[in-house]
A and B are shown apart, each in its own frame.
Chain A
Amino acid sequence: MNGIPISHILFVSTALFFIGMYGMFTRRNMITMLMAIELILNSVNINFVVFNKYLWPGKMDGIFFTIFIITIAAAEAAVAIAIIINLYRSHKSIDVEDAAEMKY
């Protein structure tokens, strides 16, 4: 593991982030958008872990943050899916374009 330079891992996490970003802006299905958001979160997690490992090997702060984020992401996924289910019940669709009533 030591042979892999940090830039490679950062490249993966950046790629993951922008894939998530792309998914979030292009998909209309809310489940897919939720998945894209999970990708973004995970790219951040990778960053935390990598910086912790490479820059301050004796400390654990980055890893704790990652665990926090995973926990919160789990809760967030539960809330998001609840919202999606409710949206489906009221709109008979989980297309984000169909739920555009909240405007001026």
Chain B
Amino acid sequence: MNYSSYIALIPLLPLAGFVLLGLFGKKYFKTFSGTIGIFLLLASTVLALYTAYQYFFINGKVNDVYQSIIPVKYTWLQFSSGTSIDMGIILDPISVMMMVVVTFVSLMVHIFSLGYMKSEERFGTYYSFLSLFTFSMLGLVVASNIFQIYIFWELVGVSSYLLIGFYYDRPSAVAASKKAFVVTRFADLGFLIGILILAFEGGTLDFNTLIQRLTDTQSSQFISITTASFLGVSVLTWALTLVFIGGAGKSAMFPLHIWLPDAMEGPTPVSALIHAATMVVAGVYLVARLFPVFSINESSLHIVTWVGMFSALLAAIIACTQTDIKRVLAFSTMSQIGYMMFALGVAHKNGETGLGYTASMFHLFTHAFFKSLLFLCAGAIIHLVHSNEMQDMGGLRKFMPVTHLTFLIACLAIAGIPPFAGFFSKEEILLATYHANKIVYVIALFTSGLTAFYMFRLYFSIFWNKPKELHGHPHEGTFSMKFPLIILATGTMVAGFIPFGHYVSSDGKILETPFHLNFSIAPVLFALTGILLALWMYKKESNRPHRVASALGGLYHSAYKKFYMDEIYLFITKKIIFNLVGRPANWIDKNIVDGTMNGIAYSTAKISGWIKGIQSGKVQGYALYFFSGIILLVIVVLYLWK
């Protein structure tokens, strides 16, 4: 084992960037704070790649099974001999894979922002926030302790809050950042309770020990957590469901997805970072991290499956109707994350049945490439058009050839057209669901058709359709904006050919993922149908989209309104919680609590008003009181004191 502590530098370098740029960026490095951020992150990307190489090809395996290695560990808070909060680094296939993804995508976003955010006043602050975001996500990914993951989980929440609300002079951005924070924080409450239950029953916060104890059917912890029950459901299911609620909040799963579309208020490269590598995949990562425990509990796996499934379908339907390009991409992210979730949900621990696990991680990996590419392209487009709305765009392929080509590649990838990355990972997911659950398979297949449709709707409306008037002198942007697009497009093209099962599998052994030609016909056909439909509707300007929309009537309208989820939340919070809880509480506070206090103060003032008249300042009056006191005493002593 020659992992030295250099691995700790991978998260610490972005932290250094955050501190450096946050404290001094505005004053000293106004112009080159971006460069500093990029170089620090470049160093950590290189380290991450080197670590991945070391782990996957040199010394990660013992007897053909990938080991979970903890090269760095520092006990931060010791509660009892078995329970402590550690700050450590865990190396196993998923954490190493995520480390590479996070640093790489973040690096691309850093480079892209150099051009995109050039004219911003708070350039240095922006880079320091990006560094903080990267640091938190890396810390989350490498966490060896469930409480460490929780700490970094909250840090991710804070940094997303800072970045979504980066344009703090826009009320909508402020509202969006607040919404993202409150919704994810609400979900994190579930996560925290889940952690506490797991830690209480497992007697430890350390991942490896926890997993080992809770999966060993002979251990006392396993027996106690499965036999104890609350409301007729075993405590293990409760704990895992609560943990999953936390994951669902961060990963924008139904019904906690409402923050995701609003989070588009942040700068576009930030959306790329949130959607591709950090934040939203945190939930998937969490479920994957605890997968050995999830896999022994059927009911929590079912919850994961169905929530993922429903979110994937719902988001895909909503995405078909949105007109803001970033929102379409946001809902597509939600849909793809749903794919990863239900892929995890249908997986099991060992061998062939673990295909869903591998597929989910594979999809996470490829999705990071094409989703960050899509968002960065969207950033380039918005940079050119100065609008998020699709109707302000059209015929852009002449102005931005590089963006056009890379966007097309990313669309093909997400639609699942071979030989791009999305095809391979999606096919594995479908294969896994096909073996596990036919209903899920059918819905997934349908959703992948929808995905192709809405992505190509976007593509044709932006790059084809009728050219729109553009103000000024349209240009595609600086080299620093094109370079990440090209790199990511290359990644999107080759990432699918990685034999992912060799590296990441549920039990650490090599999982062969053979390519089934027959099986892939159906998804590709669905995707092609979606693309052709989009082509028919959106390639040329016509009234076809309008006709289709009015033919669908209510369905279209409610999907356009995002199935009134926001309204339902507002109804619940404003009408029900506010009226039934808030108002009575307010009444009690005002009338009973305040009333008691005011009453005490009022009566004190009143009584003292009477009493103070005694102190008149007249000496003879005092003498009279004194004298009457004496008389009283005399009477008492003489007549009453017998």
Contacts and interface: CB of A to CB of B under 8 A. Distances in A.
Interface of A: 21, 24-25, 96-97, 99-104
Interface stretch (B106-114, B205-213, B587-595, B619-627): B619-627
Contacts of B624: 25
Contacts of A97: 618
Contacts of B620: 24-25, 96
A25 B619 CA distance: 10
17 contacts: A24-B620, A25-B620, A25-B623, A25-B624, A96-B619, A96-B620, A97-B618, A100-B616, A100-B617, A100-B618, A101-B617, A102-B617, A103-B615, A103-B616, A103-B617, A103-B618, A104-B612
Contacts of B616: 100, 103
Contacts, number: 24
Contacts of A104: 612-613, 615
Contacts of B612: 104
Contacts of A96: 618-620
Contacts of B623: 24-25
Interface in B592-642: 612-613, 615-620, 623-624, 627
Contacts of B627: 21
A103 B622 CA distance: 11
A66 to B, nearest CB: 21
A65 B99 CA distance: 100
Size category of the binding interface on chain B: 10 to 19
A24 B619 CA distance: 10
B634 to A, nearest CB: 13
- Determine chain A's interface SS by DSSP, over half rule: loop
- Determine chain B's interface SS by DSSP, over half rule: helix
A98 B623 CA distance: 17
Contacts of A102: 617
A25 to B, nearest CB: 6
Contacts of A100: 616-618
For the complex of A and B, list the 5 residue pairs with the smallest distance between their C-beta atoms, beginning with the closest. A103-B617, A100-B617, A104-B612, A102-B617, A104-B615
Contacts of B613: 104
A97 B623 CA distance: 14
A44 B109 CA distance: 103
A100 B620 CA distance: 10
Nearest to A24: B623
B263 to A, nearest CB: 63
Contacts of A25: 620, 623-624
A28 B595 CA distance: 48
Nearest to B613: A104
Given A25-B624, A96-B619, 14 more contacts: A21-B627, A24-B620, A24-B623, A25-B623, A97-B618, A99-B617, A99-B619, A100-B616, A100-B617, A103-B616, A103-B617, A103-B618, A104-B612, A104-B613
Nearest to A100: B617
Nearest to A97: B618
A14 to B, nearest CB: 13
A39 to B, nearest CB: 14
A102 B616 CA distance: 8
A100 B621 CA distance: 11
Nearest to A25: B620
Nearest to A27: B620
A104 B613 CA distance: 8
B33 to A, nearest CB: 66
Nearest to A26: B620
Nearest to A28: B620
Contacts of B619: 96, 99
A99 B618 CA distance: 8
A96 B622 CA distance: 12
A24 B627 CA distance: 11
A99 B620 CA distance: 11
Interface in B379-403: none
Nearest to B627: A21
Which one of A25, A96, A101, A104 has the highest number of Cβ atoms from chain B below 10 Å of its Cβ? Answer: A104
A25 B621 CA distance: 8
Contacts of B615: 103-104
